[in-house]
Amino acid sequence: MFSRLWKWFFSPTSRYGWGLILVIGGVGGAFALGGFDTLMEQTNTIGFCVSCHEMSQTVYPEYKKSPHYKNAAGVRAKCSDCHVPKQWWPKVIRKIEASNEVFHKLTGTIDTPQKFEAKRLELAKIVWATMKSNDSRACRSCHSFKSMDFHKQNRRAARKMEAAMKEGKTCIDCHKGIAHHLPKGYKDDQG
């Protein structure tokens, strides 16, 4: 059995052995996968995210005034830290979903800051629903109830965070508008 497999692996096709074909295919596939992943990472940079003027004139200036951009600890969360999952398959799925945003940019639906602002509430609701459905996974990569020292928080924040933890709330339930302004027309759905 083994000798037949060995013979097949090295037996020539019209020109090459199957082994060489499989090795070359495997190496080529690894390079292609690596190139794909590198390209995905390039689209995670702040420069890429704000390369269209709708972002550079709307959400980017807001983000630069947020604690996610500048804070006492000197820790900065970039766009992809909140909007793109770290795990490979969820990241690929998010990039596929982002092609819809590129489509709307190219078709003129959100190609000006004014058009972007007009759709901003709709876009924000999509992001919020995603964050709600995955228990604010992006937030939790930095923020965790278990890591919080409630005694070092101000009294109001500690009370609200402890209550949120007990009630099983997720970050986006209370923290909409933390890195970007709330869209015009937003009504707090918690009363």
Binding site, annotated residues for heme: 49, 52, 55, 79, 83, 101, 139, 142-143, 171, 174-175, 180
Backbone angles phi and psi of 17, in degrees to 5:
-80, 150
Secondary structure (3-state) at 74: coil
β-pair partners for 6: none
Backbone angles phi and psi of 97, in degrees to 5:
-60, -35
Cβ(124)–Cβ(133) under 8 Å? no
Task: Report H helices in the chain.
Answer: 2-10, 18-42, 46-49, 53-57, 59-64, 79-83, 88-107, 113-133, 137-140, 155-167, 171-174
Residue positions forming the annotated binding site for a menaquinol: 82
Amino acid at 7: K
Residue positions forming the annotated binding site: 49, 52, 55, 79, 82-83, 101, 139, 142-143, 171, 174-175, 180
